[in-house]
Amino acid sequence: MKVPIKNILYLLIFFYSSELFSAEIINLRFGSDAQKNRVVIDLSDDTSFSSKVFEDKVNIKFNEKIILKYDLKKNDQLTKLNFLKKTNELSLTFKRKIHAPNIYLLKKKKNKFSRIVIDYLREREKQKIIIIDPGHGGKDSGAVGLMKQLEKNVTLEVALLLEKKFAKHKKLKVVLTRNKDQFLKLRQRTRIAKVNNADLFISLHADYHKNKRTRGISLYTLSEKASDKEAAALARRENRSDLIGSVDLSTETSEVTNILIDLTKRETLNQSSHLVNFMIKEFKNDMNLLQRTHRFAGFAVLKSLDIPSVLIEMGYLSNKEDSKLLANKNYQNKIADDIVKAVRNYFNWKEKNNS
Ligand SMILES: [Zn+2]
C-alpha cells in the first residue's frame, strides 16, 4: 500500500511541532516583602498547568511537555526542588508551612518570559521565649563579695541588661523570673519557665570560693545522674498530668511514659550542652574562664526535663579582680552581649538543623 507522501509530512510536522511548542523552564526567581513571599517560574512559553497545595509543598503539573535543561537554583525559601520528567511535574517543598497561596500565570509579552507566580504568606514565626533567672533575691542575698556587693544585686543588674538587649531582637522574648529584689523559691523559678512555655532557661549567679585566687566564668548544666533521678521521680508520680515536650503523659502506659521521658531528657541535655558551647565560644574572646568551664551538677533550677537550661557563674565574688569586674557596668555589658550573641547563634544553628 502506498501512503501518500503528504500524510507522512503532516505526521512529521505534528511530532516536530509538539516538541517545538513544549515550553522550557528557564529559571526560578524569589522575592519577598514584609507580608508575602513570591516564587516565579520563568518559562519560554505560555503553558497550561494545574497546581496542588499541601502544607509546605506546591506541585505544578504541566499539561504540555516541559523541558528542563539546567538545574534550577533554590534559595532559602525552599528545602527541596524536584522535577519529574515522566509526569511533567515540578514540586517545590518550602521551609515552613505556606499560607493563602495564590498561583497564577502571567502570559508572555514581547521579549519576556511567560511566568508562573506563586505568592504566599509566611507562617508567622513563633517568638522564642528565654527565661532569665537572676539568682537569689529578697532575704536570700547569695554570696557577699570582697567589695561588699551582694550576689542577688549583681545577678539582677545583668538580668535587666539582658532584658534590654534581647528586646532589640524581634524573634526573641525575655521573661525574667524576678525584676526586683524579691525572694523566690527554686521551684517557682522553673514553674515560671513552664507556664511561659519557655525555649531556654538561663540562671545567673556569681560564685564564692575559700581559695581567693579562684576566678573565672563557669557554666553548669544538669548532670546525667541528677537528670536520671528527676526523670525517675516524674515517672513515679501518681498523677502524670505533667506535660513534657508537649506530650501529654497522662494517657500513656508506664512503659511508653518512661521512654518518652528518657528521650526528652536526653534531647534536653544535648541542647543545653550545645548552648553552653555557643556561650563558651563568645566568652572565650573577652572573659576569664574557669578550667573545665562546662560543669555538671544537680542544681534545682536546671531540672526542667524539657527546657534546655544553663546556669552561669559569672565570676567569683571571693576573688579581688572578679569582684571588681562583677560590679563594673562595662564588664556586665560584655557578659550580657556575649550571652545574647550565643543565644542567637544557638537558635540559628537549631533552625539550620531543623530541630
Ligand atoms: Zn548563687
Q: What is the pLDDT of residue 141?
A: 94
How many angstroms is it from 151 CA to the middle of ligand 1? 7
Question: Which CATH number does 22-122 carry?
Answer: 2.60.40.3500
**Which of these, 302, 303, 321, 320, lies nearest to 311 by C-alpha position?**
302
How many angstroms is it from 262 CA to the middle of ligand 1? 29
Q: What is the pLDDT of residue 239?
A: 46
Q: What is the pLDDT of residue 252?
A: 66
How many angstroms is it from 137 CA to the middle of ligand 1? 10
Q: At residue 143, what is the residue type?
A: A
How many angstroms is it from 335 CA to the middle of ligand 1? 16
Q: What is the pLDDT of residue 317?
A: 95
Give 162's contacts (C-beta < 8 A, 6+ positions apart). Answer: 132, 174, 202, 336, 339, 340
- Fold annotation for 128-352: Aminopeptidase (3.40.630)
| Residues pairing with 289 in the sheet | 217
How many angstroms is it from 345 CA to the middle of ligand 1? 26
Q: What is the pLDDT of residue 122?
A: 73
How many angstroms is it from 132 CA to the middle of ligand 1? 14
Domain ranges of the chain: 22-122, 128-352
How many angstroms is it from 133 CA to the middle of ligand 1? 11
**CA separation for the pair 13, 263 (Å, rounded):** 65
Number of H helices, E strands in the chain: 7, 17
Q: What is the pLDDT of residue 354?
A: 59
How many angstroms is it from 167 CA to the middle of ligand 1? 25
Q: Is 35 left (phi over 0), alpha (psi -120 to 50) or beta?
A: alpha
Low-confidence ranges of the chain (pLDDT < 70): 1-21, 34, 123-125, 234-252, 354-355
How many angstroms is it from 143 CA to the middle of ligand 1? 7
**CA separation for the pair 219, 306 (Å, rounded):** 19
Please answer whether residues 240 and 231 qualify as being in contact, where contact means their C-beta atoms are separated by less than 8 angstroms: no
